[in-house]
Amino acid sequence: MSLRLEGKNALITGGASGIGRATAVRFAEEGANVFVADRHLAAAEETAAKVRALGRKAVAHQVDTSAEKEVAAMVDRCVAELGGVDVLVAAAGISHARYGEEGNPAMGPLAEKPLADWKKVLSVNLDGVFLTDREVARVMIKAGKGGRIINISSGAAKLPTPGVGEYSVSKAGVWMLTKVLAVELAPYGITANAIGPGFINTPMTANIQQAEGFMKQLIERVPLKKMGEPIDVANTALFLASEEGRYYTGSILHPDGGVVMQ
């Protein structure tokens, strides 16, 4: 039986860890070459090495997806080194303005939120996805072969998340962005879908998992009573990228253990 992504070229932002890394490896297992883009080059190289170990081409690239020129250069390099982009997974994102830094995680009610913190999250989670989608869409339209755009949103796009309201707003924006793109790109044979994960065991949720009381409350909200793993999201992305997902566009799928349905 042929592999589901045999000969396809995938560009994955946020590919250095968590959902992005799991998706890169899962795509490679199904035959895809992978362009791994992330702010952290060394970790992106580790992901690329895992892809190469599976016999696929891989390129690691450092990028700040909120910077327009860097995104354009990223897509240009992907086309130059892999020959094109068949599938995009826009997974780069942050949970709050201090994500990845020691100390204050900058959580708190919106009424007390500094504008700079708001802008930081929106610039990465929404502007970054828009810029990436736009550049890849242009390449796909020019190539004339269709394509798949998959944006990583969140269950928080539908469920307000106190303390990190800017995260909820940014992910809701990604969901609407996806729907608009689905309509605009349909004439070119390009689908656009989103994935809205629930509580997934990734570096982004590491701090939450250390707070035992809070973590227990979160798990109680999950009908399946457990966190998901990055592979659960990667498998969802694989479905949307593969032939099985060809008739999906403008949809958001929730690998979330049942949280969003409540």
> 17 by DSSP, 3-state: which?
coil
Question: For 203-252, what is each residue's pLDDT tens digit?
Answer: 776 666 665 666 777 788 899 999 999 999 999 999 999 999 999 999 99
Question: For 50-88, what is each residue's pLDDT tens digit?
Answer: 999 999 999 999 999 999 999 999 999 999 999 999 999
Task: Decide: residue 63, CB within 10 A, 0-12 exposed, 13-18 middle, 19+ buried.
Answer: buried
Q: How far is CA 136 from CA 35, 49, 122, 171, in A?
A: 13, 24, 20, 20
> 238 by DSSP, 3-state: which?
helix
User: Which alpha helices (DSSP H) does the chain contain, by range?
Assistant: 18-29, 41-53, 68-82, 115-122, 128-143, 165-185, 206-210, 212-220, 230-241
> Tokens for 74?
């990223």
Place of tokens 């390009």: 190
Positions annotated as catalytic residues are 167
Cα radius of gyration rounded to whole Å, the chain: 17
Q: Does the reported pTM lie above 0.85?
A: yes
- All structural domains of the chain, each given as residue ranges with its CATH number in brackets, are 9-253 (3.40.50.720)
